[in-house]
Structure 1
Amino acid sequence: MNLILRCISLLCLTGPAVFAQSTNPKDNDYSYQTSDSTRLLKELMVYGQKRQIASINKTLTPLIDLPISVQLIDKKLIEQQQITDIRDAIKNVSGITVTGTYGDGYAMFNGRGFGMNFNSNFRWNGILMQTIGRLYGDNIERIEVLKGPASIQYGDVAPGAVMNFVSKKPLDYDYRRFELKVGEYGFLRPTLDLSGALTSKKQLLYRLNASYESGNHFIDKINSKSYLFAPSITWKITTALEWNVEMTAKNDNRTFAPGLVSPDGTFEGLKKIPRGLFLGEPDNRHRSDELSGYSTLSYKINNNLSIRNVSYYSKAREQEEAVFFPDRKADENGNLNRTTEFFQTFTKIAGTTLDLVGKFSTFGVHHDFVIGADYTQRYYTMFYNDPVELKPFNMYRPVYGENVLPKIIGYDGDPDKPRQYITRYGLYAQDQLKMWDERIHLMLGLRFNKTVQGTKYTAANPVPANYKDDVKQPVSPRIALLIKPLKDLSVYASYTQSYEQNGWDELTNIMLQSTDAKQIEFGAKSNIFSGKLGIGLSVFQIDKKNIVGYVFGLDAAPEWPHLAYNEYYKWAMYQGGHHRSRGVELDINGKITPQLSINVATSYINATVINDPAFKTGNQLEGNAKQTFNIWANYALDKGTLKGLELGYGFFYKGKFYASTENLPDEVVKSYWSMDASIGYTYRNFFTRFNVSNFTNNIGYLARRGMYEPLWVRRSMLSIGVRF
């Protein structure tokens, strides 16, 4: 917290920062586009990791002029830290943390104190994406994070943050890059990145990203394999009209990692078992695959006006062969009750968006605006087996393979299986008015939504009595004021809303209300060191109401109002209540000197229960660490005999938090910190880098509702590659 106060003092003296420009893309391998289309915005080079414009906002407005908090993780930072997992990338952004995983197959995130909704809070080039597996891929150029409610851009989303992945686009020059990463625990990851022109006049461009990964884990019995194949083509039909088509094919197959339960149900009890203990079955797998296609057609009407259409189709399959621990603890002899939890899911997403983006002036007032419409339909089908009780498992003397595990039944083409769906329609407009020599900015935005959520029933599975689709038509506003006392200093205040659709609940056959949220935010941004270093500060309050929640570990139906109680799994579901998050976030990003780049992300977030049917007022929300502090520094020698040598160091801290909103004193997860280091060298077209993460081998855990996941022990990774 002292660091936050010192940085606030620095901000008041120098002004908050952002963004710069720079150099040759071939020398830096750093050719970014300012939107998903080269036609919408000109190519822009940057110092450090800051960029002037982020596509997640959909307008041409520079980030320093945006009265909202947007943070970016650029390719250079990804390369320096040798990131291969989104969980490692996101710790470079303040206010965003990982709360856990489902069997290590996919991760769950917390934004500004609230869980991020996997059905709507993750985007691929601004459109809805599949989230059934690992999110990171080598076809990602950068990661953009818009904090706070974002319903005006994206409709029904959770209020904490929206994460947008911007894909690599074809280049108009020859580019070849091959890299091989090898590491401890059998890690192997070769990657290929090819791009260039297919015609002499460079009207037809291509890019291909491909990768393969395999490895083991420090946890016994765990292994994984995955691949990515992602081609894309850009056709410059005319100087004003451009069409980009891209495809993503992904497959992931890994051991289902159920995590740990404490022998006695307490956090301290984890000391009685090794971090590398495996409580599942080696034959259990998390399998997922995805095939997605995207079409982006953009037309530059004139220098101030562009139009863009994105259409897409995506399908994905997921299979979970899981072990579940209904008691969340063992008996005094270490015997643990286990049951199976096997299911398959099939998801299809299709949609289209149309945006008119531009700028104009009237009577001395300048406007940056976007007017758009979008349509998305998502179908979701699940097949599951009834749980099967397994033989007791002793965590002190583990024996595997004693159970005959059931096989999944069901398939995507079953015509009698009901299918859940959600259809979204949206019309939105946002205008940022710049007045008084652009020293005062007023942002006004409004979105009209229509969301239909329900189930397609069949003759074999008829419609339940009293069933109806959930239809919501909310209006989502945004209003903000930004003042620029100096060219490189802006201060702002904003108000915005969001909503989440909850739909028809099949367990209780009742219609759930939507979950609503409102945010007030104050912030400041600035550039210092001639624009090379950016500083962003934000202070916010988010109020979230009508929450759908779960309470686990109940031996009987609770006395407080609830919608359902599952006697076998011992959980109850409810809706209602009011939760609030208040916090301060600080991000510093860019270059202090031509050789030294830094990324600092720190936050203090107090996310609590205001009132709730199940939890006490004042309780901290599950998984929210009040304090986080992360810093990464990289020093690159650019002169002398050691030119091309780079040294990197990182320190990452996450404060203590509760494993559940019940705030049981025995479930307080202790704070955790780790340090990383790297050394890299580039000589002409050759490059290599060696990283060690958690080199002090500290012990840390993620936790959710009595389940614990140990964080990685010390490990090293070496990469070698060539670029030409």
Structure 2
Amino acid sequence: MGSTLAAAAMSAFALGAGASDTPAQANVAPQERLGLLRRYDLAPARLADNLNAFADANRLQIVYDANVTGGLRSRGLIGNYTVREALDRLLEGSGLSYRLSEQRATISIRLAQADNGVRSDVSDAERLPPIDVGAASGETRDGRRGGAPQGPGDRHTGYNAVSAPTTLKTDTPLLKTPLTVEVVTRQTMDDQQAISVGDALLTNVSGVTESTNVLDVFKIRGFSNPIGNIFKNGLMEYRIRKLDTTNLQTVEVLKGPASLLFGRGEPGGIVNLVVKRPLDTPYYSIQQQVKSFSGTRTTIDATGPLTQDKSILYRVNAEYYSNGSYRDYVSDRNLFIAPTLTFQPIEQFRMNIDFEYQNRTWVDDYPVLPAVGGSPASIPVSRYLSSASLMTAYPDHSDRKRIAYDWTYEFLPGWSLTNRLSYTSIATRNENVVPLSFNQTTGVLGRFAFFIPGTTDRTFATNLDLKGKFSTGPIDHSILVGLDAFKNYIPLYVSYQPFLSSINIYDPRSWQVENPYGNQVFGKSAQKWTGVYGQDMISLLDDTVHILLGGRYDWAESSANKNFSSYLNALSSYVTTYNTAFSPRVGAVYQPLPWLSFYGSYARSFGVSNSSSTGLPLDPQRGELYEAGVKAELLDRRLSLTMAYFDIFKTNMPYADPTNARNTLLIGKARSQGFEFDLTGRIDDNWSVIANYTHDDVRTVQGALSYNPATLITTQLAISGSKLPASPRNYGNLWVKYDADGELQGLSLGAGVSVHESSFGDNANSYVLPAYALVNGMIAYRTNIEGYTVTGQLNVKNLGDVTYYPTSTDRYTIQTGTPRTFVGSLRVEF
């Protein structure tokens, strides 16, 4: 009977037994396969879940007793390891041992309790206790879900991440890096029904606030760049609007200057979007969402293998989105399709090919609201101050196509070559209404428009990385050497800048007919960037000290025409400026305990030369960072803590001249100095938390030398000591989720609050954006119906229906916050 039960158990838990090897793998002898290095990226989770993932990755059999692993957790596995090294690390501290036994062309791993808690290759197989086949994978024996298992479709990933290999370009754990990286996971986005990238970022990462509603631009540690701080899979996304989360697996924020790895960027940091990858297990999902203001959204996710040996995988994500707005006349329609293929003909080579198509039409909303006296104008937040006749007759339109690939070849154990490339073409019709003047007494707003009937924006980006590991005596080295290139080109186009009739904000005449074809102008521009970089992560003193040394050299070109009056003048006045720069980064980490580290770093950044609205080149932006902090992985690595002090300087910041919208002014130097706190992850099997707090003083250090205080409101000059617009000194967020078990298993409840201190709204610090607090909530229930996983969910945002103003740039452009919003959804997975 015992032998029969053991045989049944071996069949039930022979993980990977039914998987067939690829042709290349079949030619590798089992014992040789044990010595091959393989890269792992396993987050902290239940031990059984990580053993399953390990077995699948290596096509090995693991036989174990569910009683032995029940309740045990694994610290995860990040990096390149042989089979033996990986098992040693996965089982570290568990009190379990294993025995390897070769059977024909496979390796079987038998797991049992060890007397000394260390590996034993010769332990007797008879020491295995009776095997219980009753506990299902992904659950403990009492039915409670584990810490952060990879769920169907890689959706249930937990809130915590211990690495960010796409953003850091290495597999170094975050705990061992002198950099601050925060990761918004797929489960976070799903739990909060985050439709846009802004939804995902603004409450889940410290130091991130809104910058403008014109582009998808975010302030990170007080600084923003309207065209250059968003990346996708490590390559820049240029001039992108309304980014969506449909095909994203994580949204990662690298804080501080990122020039070493990414070239052009803000000294505050960059946002890197990591797309979903195909899975070798078939998975299908369809979700229907409805939201306030007549919003509907349908998304589809399908993935699986295309070949029997699973060497070719596919994934397709698609979305159709239609939404109104609490703002009069504003609307948005979006069609998005993103297929992805993965090729892995041999173990050492993997290639992903991504396609994206987006067709979007929307009515823009700019300007939003002016200031009157010392506060935002007291008018309904729904009031539309743009030109309703123009914007509805000529809505903005974007037709975007993107193709990209990335491949990695591990040509030697621990050594690999990675190449990424993307090409994006965006055909647009665009119209913006810009405030020109405002009478504080009468409420009359003067306006003119930018109308571009059609142009095509083409962007090319690529990079090549060489990574390797080696040792020099007691010192371990992890090196990265790379080069990259970026080019954006907008061919000669015609646009119009007509002066529009004035509008009274208290009594708007929204349907006054306007002619968009006035004041014809011609434009042409290009950006080109080439850089080489290298870094060495040095580990010594028994892996307790880590030192990062790196640098980058850039060659940058910026081109534009300075005469807009005619086609010929635009061609003949085309000017190109050249800049070069060296950007170093140094950092150190001291790790006295496996779960605790202290770090410090210094870095400089370089931004390509600015191009003013007149086409004349301006001096390039430069940044400098000093940072120190503490990182910890708490509660058996389920919870990540980061505390950081930072001091950042940025020079040559451009801003619009409010007295002449065709002119650009510069802030000589600004400073962002503050403290951040992030706590993310799982407290236990039931409770998860995201908590962050930011204290940041962002102000002008070197501003206008000559100004008239009586006209400061009109001129909006940035003077020394003044705060930068919409830069609250203190703000924070808290989100808590409860997953029920027992009879209520499948029920999830979540609640959160976001609090922002008041801030000045313009460079002159002439008015105040009031403080606000927003309350959000979530209830969801997941069940199984006839083999289908069905999830119903309801989220409410701004539960108290608070009137608030999240950001501004000057006295004319205050952005209003969204009123109370409900988002309901029904998802079916199989």
* Separation of aligned partners in 2, 1:185 and 1:680: 22
| 1:261–1:311 distance in 2 versus 1, CA, 3 Å | closer
Report what 1:401 is aligned to.
Answer: 511
1:543-563 deviations in Å (ceiling 9; x for gaps): 1123334331x3xxxxxxxxx
The one-letter amino acid paired with 1:353 is N
Q: Does 1:591 align with 2:682?
A: yes
* Higher share in helix: 2
The one-letter amino acid paired with 2:618 is L
Report what 1:139 is aligned to.
Answer: 247
Q: 1:690 aligns with which of 778, 794, 811?
A: 794
1:161-176 mapped onto 2 (5 Å cutoff): 161-176=269-284
| 1:513–1:678 distance in 2 versus 1, CA, 3 Å | same
Report what 1:435 is aligned to.
Answer: 540
Report what 1:712 is aligned to.
Answer: 818
1:502-539 deviations in Å (ceiling 9; x for gaps): 25657274x42222111010011011111111100110
3-state SS in 1 of match to 2:175: helix
1:151-550 mapped onto 2 (5 Å cutoff): 151-262=259-370, 265-266=372-373, 268=375, 270-271=377-378, 273-283=379-389, 284=391, 285-329=395-439, 331-332=441-442, 334-343=443-452, 344-381=454-491, 383=493, 385-406=495-516, 419-455=524-560, 460-461=568-569, 469-502=576-609, 507=614, 509=616, 511-550=617-656
* Separation of aligned partners in 1, 2:663 and 2:166: 41
1:314-354 deviations in Å (ceiling 9; x for gaps): 1113332232321135652x444333332355311113211
Report what 2:174 is aligned to.
Answer: 63
3-state SS in 1 of match to 2:383: coil
1:21-50 deviations in Å (ceiling 9; x for gaps): 45759x99xx9999999xxxx999565332
Report what 2:808 is aligned to.
Answer: 703
* Separation of aligned partners in 2, 1:470 and 1:36: 43
How far off its partner does 1:572 sit? 4.6
| 1:577–1:532 distance in 2 versus 1, CA, 3 Å | same
The one-letter amino acid paired with 2:792 is T
* Separation of aligned partners in 2, 1:295 and 1:83: 26
The 8 Å contact of residues 418 and 461 in structure 1, kept in 2 or not, is answered as no
The one-letter amino acid paired with 1:649 is A
1:595-634 mapped onto 2 (5 Å cutoff): 595-613=686-704, 614-634=717-737
Report what 2:779 is aligned to.
Answer: 679
Q: 1:101 aligns with which of 207, 213, 224?
A: 213
The one-letter amino acid paired with 1:50 is A
* Separation of aligned partners in 2, 1:325 and 1:418: 21
3-state SS in 2 of match to 1:469: strand
Report what 1:656 is aligned to.
Answer: 758
How far off its partner does 1:608 sit? 1.3
3-state SS in 1 of match to 2:261: helix
Q: Structure 2 length as normaliser, TM-score? A: 0.76
3-state SS in 1 of match to 2:266: coil
| 1:506–1:712 distance in 2 versus 1, CA, 3 Å | closer
3-state SS in 2 of match to 1:604: strand
RMSD of aligned alpha carbons: 3.0
| 1:659–1:420 distance in 2 versus 1, CA, 3 Å | same
3-state SS in 2 of match to 1:82: coil
The 8 Å contact of residues 164 and 181 in structure 2, kept in 1 or not, is answered as no
Q: Structure 1 length as normaliser, TM-score? A: 0.87
* Separation of aligned partners in 1, 2:380 and 2:519: 35
* Separation of aligned partners in 2, 1:387 and 1:62: 51
Report what 1:563 is aligned to.
Answer: none
3-state SS in 2 of match to 1:474: strand
3-state SS in 1 of match to 2:200: helix
| 1:244–1:430 distance in 2 versus 1, CA, 3 Å | same
How far off its partner does 1:384 sit? 5.3
Report what 1:4 is aligned to.
Answer: none
The 8 Å contact of residues 79 and 171 in structure 2, kept in 1 or not, is answered as no
Q: 2:746 aligns with which of 624, 631, 644?
A: 644
3-state SS in 1 of match to 2:641: strand
3-state SS in 2 of match to 1:218: coil
Any unmatched runs of 5+ in structure 1?
A: 1-17, 411-415, 555-565
1:137-182 deviations in Å (ceiling 9; x for gaps): 3011110000011111111222111000000111111010110001
* Separation of aligned partners in 2, 1:251 and 1:405: 26
Report what 1:561 is aligned to.
Answer: none
1:586-632 deviations in Å (ceiling 9; x for gaps): 10000111111101111100011111124322111122111111011
| 1:48–1:615 distance in 2 versus 1, CA, 3 Å | closer
| 1:468–1:34 distance in 2 versus 1, CA, 3 Å | farther
| 1:319–1:371 distance in 2 versus 1, CA, 3 Å | same
The one-letter amino acid paired with 1:275 is V
3-state SS in 1 of match to 2:187: helix
The one-letter amino acid paired with 1:421 is A
Report what 2:198 is aligned to.
Answer: 87
3-state SS in 2 of match to 1:79: helix
1:275-301 deviations in Å (ceiling 9; x for gaps): 111122335123222100001121122
Report what 1:3 is aligned to.
Answer: none
The one-letter amino acid paired with 1:477 is P
Q: 1:126 aligns with which of 198, 221, 234?
A: 234
| 1:363–1:34 distance in 2 versus 1, CA, 3 Å | closer
* Separation of aligned partners in 1, 2:499 and 2:251: 42
* Separation of aligned partners in 2, 1:253 and 1:171: 32
Report what 2:30 is aligned to.
Answer: none
3-state SS in 2 of match to 1:512: strand
The 8 Å contact of residues 217 and 229 in structure 2, kept in 1 or not, is answered as no
Higher relative contact order (CA closer than 8 Å, sequence separation 6+): 1
* Separation of aligned partners in 1, 2:463 and 2:364: 37
1:105-141 deviations in Å (ceiling 9; x for gaps): x3332111112x2432110100011333211230111
- Matched residue pairs, number? 670
* Separation of aligned partners in 1, 2:429 and 2:760: 30
Report what 1:12 is aligned to.
Answer: none
